[in-house]
Amino acid sequence: MTSALILDPTLLAAVLASLLPFVSFLLIMVFTREFPRLSAGLSIAAVTLSLICALFLLGRHWHLQSAIQYTGRWLVSGDISIPFGFLLDSTSLLMLALVAGISFLVQIYSLGYMAGDTGFARYYAFMSLFAWAMISLTISPTMLQLYIFWELVGLSSYLLIGFWYEKFSATEAGKKAFVMTRLGDVAFFLGLLLVLVYLGNLNVLEINNREVTVRMSPVVITTSALLIFGGIIGKSAQFPLLTWLPDAMEGPTPVSALLHSATMVAAGVYLFARLFPFFSLSPTAMTVFIIIGTISMLLASTMAMVSRDIKQVWAYSTISQLGFMIMGLAAGGFFAGVFHLTTHAGFKALLFLCSGVFIHQFETNDMYEIGQYGGRRLKIPMICIVIAGAALAGLPPFSGFFSKEMILAALADLKNPLWLIAGLLGAFLTAYYAFRLIFIVLFPKELETDQPPNHGAGHGHETYWIMAWTLIILAAITVILGFFQGSLESFLGGHRSVSANHGGGQHIWLPFMALGLALVGVALAWMEFGRQGAKQVGFVERIPPLNHLFANRWHIDRFYRGFLDIVIYGLISRMCTQNDNKVIDGSIHGLSKGTVETGRIVSFLHSGMVQYRLLVIFIVLVLLTVYFIF
Amino acid sequence: MIVPFGHVLILAGILFLMGMFCAVTRRNLIMIVLGIEIMLNAASIVFVGAALRWHHLEGQVFVVFILAVAATEVSVGLALIVYAYLRTGSFDPGTYNLLK
With helix as H, strand as E and coil as C, how does A24-61 read? HHHHHHHCCCCCHHHHHHHHHHHHHHHHHHHHHHHHHC
Q: B93 and A609 in contact by Cβ < 8 A?
A: yes
From CA A415, how far away is CA A426, in angstroms rounded? 19
- CB-count exposure of residue A523 (10 Å: 0-12, 13-18, 19+): middle
Report the length, in residues, of chain B.
100
**Nearest of A161, A124, A168, A179 to residue A259 by alpha carbon:** A161
Chain A CA closest to residue B100: A608
Residues in chain A with pLDDT < 50? 455-458, 495-504
Q: A615 and B97 in contact by Cβ < 8 A?
A: no
- What local confidence, expressed as pLDDT, does residue A458 receive? 39
Contact A403, A346 (CB under 8 A): no
Looking at the partner chain, which of B32, B93, B100 has a beta carbon nearest the beta carbon of A606?
Answer: B100
- The predicted-structure confidence for B42-93, as pLDDT tens digits, reads as follows 999 999 999 999 999 999 999 999 999 999 999 999 999 999 899 889 888 8
**Nearest of A204, A202, A269, A262 to residue A235 by alpha carbon:** A269
Interface of B with A (CB under 8 A): 20, 23-25, 32, 93-94, 96-100
Contact list in A for residue B25 (CB cut-off 8 A) is 611
Contact A389, A405 (CB under 8 A): no
Chain B CA closest to residue A616: B24
What does the domain layout of chain A look like in residue ranges? 1-215+234-275, 282-551, 559-629
- What local confidence, expressed as pLDDT, does residue A106 receive? 93
- What local confidence, expressed as pLDDT, does residue A453 receive? 54
- What local confidence, expressed as pLDDT, does residue B23 receive? 93
Q: How far is CA A499 from CA A226, A242, A409, A413, A419, in A?
A: 21, 29, 11, 9, 16
Looking at the partner chain, which of A607, A611, A618 has a beta carbon nearest the beta carbon of B100?
Answer: A607
SS3 A584: helix
Tally DSSP H helices, then E strands, for chain A.
29, 2
Q: A608 and B20 in contact by Cβ < 8 A?
A: no
Bridge partners of A75, per DSSP, are A82
Q: Inter-axis angle of helices A264-274 and A90-113, to 10 degrees?
A: 180
Chain A CA closest to residue B31: A611
From CA A358, how far away is CA A437, in angstroms rounded? 13
SS3 A86: strand
Contact list in B for residue A616 (CB cut-off 8 A) is none
Nearest C-alpha of chain B: how many angstroms from A606? 6
Contact list in A for residue B77 (CB cut-off 8 A) is none
- What local confidence, expressed as pLDDT, does residue A498 receive? 41
Longest CA–CA span in chain B (Å) reads 52
Interface test with A, best of B24, B91, B98 (most A CBs within 10 A): B24
Looking at the partner chain, which of A606, A608, A614 has a beta carbon nearest the beta carbon of B24?
Answer: A614
Bridge partners of B7, per DSSP, are none
Contact A406, A336 (CB under 8 A): yes
Choice between B6 and A365, residue whose per-residue pLDDT is larger: B6
Contact list in B for residue A605 (CB cut-off 8 A) is none
Nearest C-alpha of chain B: how many angstroms from A611? 5
Chain A CA closest to residue B27: A611
**Nearest of A330, A303, A366, A283 to residue A540 by alpha carbon:** A303
- What local confidence, expressed as pLDDT, does residue A466 receive? 84
- What local confidence, expressed as pLDDT, does residue A199 receive? 85
From CA A443, how far away is CA A459, in angstroms rounded? 26
Contact A277, A405 (CB under 8 A): no
What does the domain layout of chain B look like in residue ranges? 29-90
From CA A312, how far away is CA A305, in angstroms rounded? 10
Longest CA–CA span in chain A (Å) reads 113
- What local confidence, expressed as pLDDT, does residue A496 receive? 46
Q: How many CB atoms lie within 10 A of CB B53?
A: 14
- What local confidence, expressed as pLDDT, does residue A495 receive? 44
Nearest C-alpha of chain A: how many angstroms from B42? 15
Helices in A236-275 by DSSP H: which ranges? 244-247, 253-257, 264-274
- What local confidence, expressed as pLDDT, does residue A565 receive? 86
Nearest C-alpha of chain A: how many angstroms from B59? 22
Q: A614 and B23 in contact by Cβ < 8 A?
A: yes
Looking at the partner chain, which of B20, B23, B94 has a beta carbon nearest the beta carbon of A609?
Answer: B94
Nearest C-alpha of chain B: how many angstroms from A597? 21
The pTM of this model reads 0.80
Chain A CA closest to residue B13: A622
Alpha carbon of residue A515 to chain centroid = 29
Q: A611 and B23 in contact by Cβ < 8 A?
A: yes
Taking the CA of residue A369 as centre, how many other CA atoms within 13 Å lie in the half-sphere pointing to its CB?
Answer: 15
Q: How far is CA A307 from CA A39, A303, A390, A460, A546, in A?
A: 37, 7, 19, 30, 13
Contact list in A for residue B24 (CB cut-off 8 A) is 611-612, 614-615, 618
SS3 A306: coil
Looking at the partner chain, which of A606, A611, A618 has a beta carbon nearest the beta carbon of B93?
Answer: A611
Alpha carbon of residue A322 to chain centroid = 10
- What local confidence, expressed as pLDDT, does residue A501 receive? 45
Contact A131, A53 (CB under 8 A): no
From CA A475, how far away is CA A381, in angstroms rounded? 10
3-state helix, strand, coil in chain A (%, to 5): 75, 5, 20
SS3 A71: strand
Dihedral through CA A211, CA A212, CA A214, CA A218, nearest 10?
Answer: -130
- The predicted-structure confidence for A36-59, as pLDDT tens digits, reads as follows 889 999 999 999 999 999 999 999
